[in-house]
Amino acid sequence: MTENVERFQHLKVKMLSTGDVQGCLRKLETLLRVIKYPGQVDYNSLSKGDPSAFLPIVSFTLTSFSPPFAEQLTAAGFELTGKTDLRFTDTFYKVLRDIFHYKPVLTKQQFLQWGFSQRKISVMCDVINFVQQKHNQLKKPRVRCPAQNKEGRPDGRGEVQPTLIAPDQPLVVNHTEYQSIFPCRKVLLQFSWKHDHRGGGR
């Protein structure tokens, strides 16, 4: 009787653990769609804790998903390309510690071993969320189109060029004020009027 109870409890724990792994896999699957992960995902290997199934996802998340974040890592001295699995994981854990201030529930050695699938999947979900947050913080604001002056030409400083008309000057032009601009025309008009007047008096 006691043996049967122990066997049932072991089976129950195993079923709960499997259910938790499947739930974590569904969360990871959703996040991979969000970041548009282009590679093939071996969910069977992930559920078994195969490190070779996790490392490509880590690499894409840190180096390809967000170019601004990848540039920040490079500027900070974190090189993640062209490394062995061991050295890549070592740098990966340094990024978690120094950039995200995050301590995984697994050691580097455990991450590179088979097993610990639920913990590994949980770490992957956390990493993707962290990188998404960093990406949103580092995204450059949209560049606004430069303002245009009245002639339709953009100002180099992004400001509207001042118009030639002073703010307090009326928009309706008083043409009598502009007669002095053409003195020759005024003299000719006066001469013509006098000539016609004299000719009419004759």
Query: Would you say 161 and 148 are in contact if contact means Cβ atoms under 8 Å apart?
Result: no
Task: Give the model's pLDDT for residue 57.
Answer: 97
The domain limits of the chain are 2-138
Task: Give the model's pLDDT for residue 180.
Answer: 44
Task: Give the model's pLDDT for residue 160.
Answer: 47
Task: Give the model's pLDDT for residue 101.
Answer: 96
**Distance, CA of 69 to CA of 134 (rounded, Å):** 7
Task: Give the model's pLDDT for residue 67.
Answer: 94
R_g of the chain, CA atoms, integer Å? 38
User: What averages of pLDDT result for each successive group of 10 residues across the chain (202 residues)?
Assistant: 43 46 93 95 95 96 95 94 94 96 94 95 96 89 56 51 47 43 44 49 46
Task: Give the model's pLDDT for residue 146.
Answer: 56
Dihedral angle of Cα 12, 17, 23, 26, to the nearest 10 degrees: -130
Quickly name the fold that domain 2-138 has: Actin-binding Protein, T-fimbrin; domain 1 (1.10.418)
28's tokens:
């990871």
Task: Give the model's pLDDT for residue 181.
Answer: 43
pTM over 0.85: no
Instruction: Name residues whose C-beta falls within 8 Å of residue 129's C-beta, 6 or more positions apart in sequence.
Output: 31
**Residue among 165, 3, 148, 133 nearest 69 (CA):** 133
46's tokens:
């992930």
Task: Give the model's pLDDT for residue 139.
Answer: 82
Task: Give the model's pLDDT for residue 140.
Answer: 66
